[in-house]
Amino acid sequence: MWPPLILRMKVTGMITDFFARALIAGVGVALVAGPAGCFIVWRRMAYFGDTMAHSALLGVALGLLLGVDPILGVLAVTIVLALILAGMGGSRTLASDTVLGILSHSALSLGMVALSLMRGIRLDLMVYLFGDLLSVGMTDIYLVLGGGAASLVLLAGLWRPLLAMTVHEELARAEGVRVDAVRAGFMLLIAFLIAAAMKITGALLITSLLLIPAACARRFANGPEVMAVLAALFGAVAVTGGLYGSLYFDTPAGPSIVLAALLLFLCSLMFGHRQSRN
Amino acid sequence: MTLEPTALVRAQRLDLSIGGRRILAHVDLSIGPGEIITLIGPNGAGKSTLVRVLLGLMRPDHGTVVRRAGLRVGYLPQKFVIDAVLPLSVSRLMTLTRKAALAEIEAALAETGVAHLMGAQVQTLSGGELQRVLLARALLSNPDLLVLDEPVQGVDFGGQAELYQLISAIRQRHGCAILMVSHDLHLVMAATDRVLCLNQHLCCAGTPAMVARDPEYLRLFGPRAAEAFALYAHGPHGHDHVHTLSGDVAPIDPAHESHRHDH
């Protein structure tokens, strides 16, 4: 874990490699999570992000069981779940927060039970919840930057139709938007993002980075694109501020980032303008 | 109705039940290029459902809907509410499904008389302003068919008359067909070519004057409907005054609005 490392760093007073790697990886995730999180906020899918993140533990268990990289297990589980939920998107009697709740906690419990049945594996709940930002290696950096760039390209491609169906789904459909495909594409994007960021950010931090920067940005934005860019910036500021805060106060990195984001949000409430009436 | 060969949309023998309740029964309908069709009927008659089936948003249990290949549709849904959590200006709303140059956006908004609202947030618009902005947005894609589901709802009586005039003007200028839904039987507009009276099945169809005298229509809506029905029925050339069925010129009077039915 990180406290001894931080202690060592404080003694030398140096920004060592692992801190730079943490910064790059964290900011990388935040830059994608900001714009993607705007859609989570606009489409009221907060619980969807939560469900994805919680199901990741099942993916870790699956990866260990099959002897492959846990990230692949997480990716498989989140993609399957996203496809199930996207398939249910059309039917209003099923797709609800209740179904998400059932899936989320079942997947989490299944993951925990499966892990407990495996010999020699002990789950570090802190790492699962907040990730292990300070142990990020170069492979993780490549994964985040590559995956992040790919996600941003996909999101840019989905942007106009996804925004159109967010504003009015039937209008978008009537005017030729392939609503089901776009919805599935966005859910897969979130699944991919969560899988790629899981090791770095954990289940709680990734949902925080999806929601809080977008919420901050709302107060300063007069258009969806402006809000997306601001959310990416606020996310990056929260990661940077949180990491330096954890360095300074000797606190765990993940929760410090969430608190930095919260601080930004509170500031936005004080200084932002209400845009809904002008 | 000799427009069949070039019909933009043709529906045949549509049947649809939802939850065991019959919504549409044996509906045949075709929309020709450039014609204005007004769909009327009491609440629950299946008007919005029929529109949704024609647009391909719902599948009928039986029957077929054929849309002309490459048909461009502009749609004004019945409900259009944007959550305050999504910042959206009028100019951004205009390019929701398609890109457009700033000059085109300005021209479209000017045509519907709301160019000054370009920078306003959509959530701040009044009912009439929003309908005009949505009309401009639909025009921007140069549609073959405009589908307007209750376009004058939430608009005061004077505003309704203006909005109907605007819709007529749009047809004349752009030559697009218009399918309009109205639950208010009295507000069938001037330039409507055909009125379709729907009550699960199509009870009657024809020019506004024909439908107003149709026994099926009178049975469904009562004899008083005929006189008020004519409020906007002043021929295809577009006047700024209104006639009653007997041909008298009547002012646009808010008192006429109180001639409502209960169903």
Higher-confidence residue: B178 or A64? B178
Asked whether residue A278 is domain-assigned, the answer is no
Range of the domain at A54: 4-271
Chain A residues in contact with B87 (beta carbon < 8 A): 218, 221-224, 226-227, 275
Under the banding of pLDDT at 50, 70 and 90, the label for residue A272 is low
How many domains does one find in chain A? 1
Q: What pLDDT is stored for residue A89 in this prediction?
A: 60
Are A40 and A160 in contact by the 8 Å Cβ rule? The answer is no
Rg of the Cα atoms in chain B: 18
For residues B28 and B2, what is the distance between their CA atoms, to the nearest angstrom? 14
Q: Give the CATH number of the domain where residue A82 resides.
A: 1.10.3470.10
pLDDT, position B124: 92
Tell me whether residues B124 and A277 touch, CB distance under 8 A. Answer: yes
Nearest chain B CA: its distance from A170 CA (Å): 7
CB contacts of A42 in chain B (<8 Å) are 83, 85-86
Which residues, in sequence order, are CB contacts of B66 under 8 Å at separation 6+?
A: B7, B9, B10, B11
Taking an 8 Å cut-off on Cβ atoms, the answer to whether B85 and A42 are in contact is yes
pLDDT value, residue A94: 54
pLDDT score recorded for residue A223? 94
Q: Residue B89: which of A223, A276, A277 has the nearest Cβ?
A: A223
- Taking contacts as CB-CB distances below 8 angstroms, the residues of chain B near A172 are 96-97
Mean pLDDT, residues A1-18 taken together = 51
User: What residues in B contact A160, CB-CB < 8 Å?
Assistant: 95-97, 99
Report yes or no: A156 at the B interface, CB cutoff 8 Å: no
pLDDT recorded at residue B190: 64
Q: Which of B75, B80, B85 sits opposite A174 (nearest CB)?
A: B75
Q: What is the pLDDT of residue A216?
A: 95
Residue A219 is assigned to a structural domain of this protein: yes
Q: pTM of the full predicted structure?
A: 0.82
Window 22-61 of B: residues touching A by CB (8 A cutoff) are 52, 55-57
Q: Map tokens 């956006």 to a residue.
A: B105
Q: Which of B50, B68, B86, B181 to mutate to test the interface with A (most CBs of A within 10 A)?
A: B86
Contact B97 A278 (CB under 8 A): no
Q: pLDDT tens-digit profile of A221-245?
A: 999 999 999 999 999 999 999 999 9
Contact A175 B120 (CB under 8 A): no
pLDDT at A6 over 80: no
Burial A132-144 (b: 16+ CB within 10 A, else e): bbbbbeeebbebb
**Predicted pLDDT at B183:** 66
What are the phi and psi torsion angles at A65 (to 5°)?
-65, -40
Domain membership flag for residue A256? yes
Q: For residue B236, what pLDDT is reported?
A: 40
User: Within 10 A of A225 (CB to CB), how many other CB atoms are there?
Assistant: 14
Mean pLDDT of A43-47: 86
Give the pLDDT band of residue A186 (cuts 50, 70, 90).
very high
* Of the partner residues A167, A170, A278, the one whose CB lies closest to the CB of residue B88: A167
Which residue did the predictor score with more confidence, B231 or A39? Answer: A39
Query: Closest-CA residue in chain A for B143?
Result: A175
A93 part of a folded domain: yes
Residue A195 lies in a domain: yes
| Half-sphere exposure in the Cβ direction for B74 (13 Å, CA) | 28
pLDDT at A157 over 70: yes
Torsion, CA A233, CA A238, CA A240, CA A246, rounded to 10 = 180
Instruction: Pick the more confident residue, A62 or B218.
Output: A62
Check CB contact of A224 with chain B, cutoff 8 Å.
Answer: yes
Q: What is the pLDDT of residue A258?
A: 93
Closest-CA distance, A166 to chain B, in angstroms, reads 9
The torsion of the CA quartet B249, B251, B253, B256, rounded to 10 degrees, works out to 0
Q: How far is A40 from chain B (nearest CA, A)?
A: 11
Alpha-carbon distance A31 to nearest alpha carbon in chain B (angstroms): 20
Considering only CB atoms, B87 lies closest to which of A171, A176, A218, namely: A218
- The vertex-A183 CA angle with A33 and B120, nearest 5°, equals 70
CA-nearest residue to B117 within chain A is: A278
Confidence of residue A64 (pLDDT cuts 50, 70, 90): confident
B80–A277 C-beta distance less than 8 A: no
Best interface-test mutation with B: which of A226, A268, A276 has the largest number of B CBs within 10 A?
Answer: A276
A166/A178 Cα distance (integer angstroms): 13
Separate counts of helices (H) and strands (E) for chain A: 11, 0
- Cβ distance A173 to B57 less than 8 Å, yes or no, reads yes
Residue A138 domain flag: yes
pLDDT computed for residue A130 by the predictor: 79
- Is residue A221 situated within a structural domain? yes
pLDDT tens digits for A65-110?
Answer: 888 888 888 889 989 988 888 777 655 555 567 888 888 889 889 9
Task: Say whether residue A230 is in contact with chain B using an 8 A CB cutoff.
Answer: no
Asked if A42's CB is within 8 angstroms of B86's CB, the reply is yes
The number of C-beta contacts closer than 8 angstroms across A and B is: 80
Domain assignment present for residue A214? The answer is yes
pLDDT number for residue A185: 92
Question: What is the pLDDT of chain A when averaged over all its residues?
Answer: 84
**How many Å lie between the alpha carbon of B166 and the closest alpha carbon of chain A?**
21
Q: Residue A210 CB: number of other CB atoms within 10 A?
A: 34
Quick count: other Cβ atoms within 10 Å of Cβ B240? 8
Subunit contact A173:B56, Cβ cutoff 8 A:
yes
Q: What is the dihedral of CA A190, A193, A196, A201, to 10 degrees?
A: -100
CB A124 within 8 A of CB A135: no
Query: Cα-flanking dihedrals φ and ψ of residue A130, to 5°?
Result: -115, 0
User: Per-residue pLDDT for chain B (263 aa), expressed as one digit of tens each?
Assistant: 444 558 899 998 999 988 888 888 888 999 999 899 999 887 778 888 999 999 989 899 999 999 898 889 999 988 888 888 999 999 999 999 888 899 999 999 999 999 999 999 999 998 889 999 999 999 998 899 999 988 887 787 778 888 888 888 888 888 899 999 986 666 665 668 888 888 888 888 888 777 777 888 777 777 666 555 544 444 443 344 444 444 444 444 444 444 444 44
Contact partners, residue A128, CB within 8 Å, separation at least 6: A57, A60, A202, A203
**Residue in A172, A174, A224 closest to B92 by CB:** A224
Taking residues A38-61, report their average pLDDT: 88
- How far from B104 is each of A246, B98, B127, B136, CA to CA, in Å? 52, 12, 23, 10
Q: What does each C-alpha distance from B200 to B26, B27, B53, B182 come to in angstroms?
A: 8, 8, 13, 15
In a mutational test of the A interface, the residue from B97, B117, B124, B140 whose CB has the highest number of chain A CBs within 10 Å is: B97
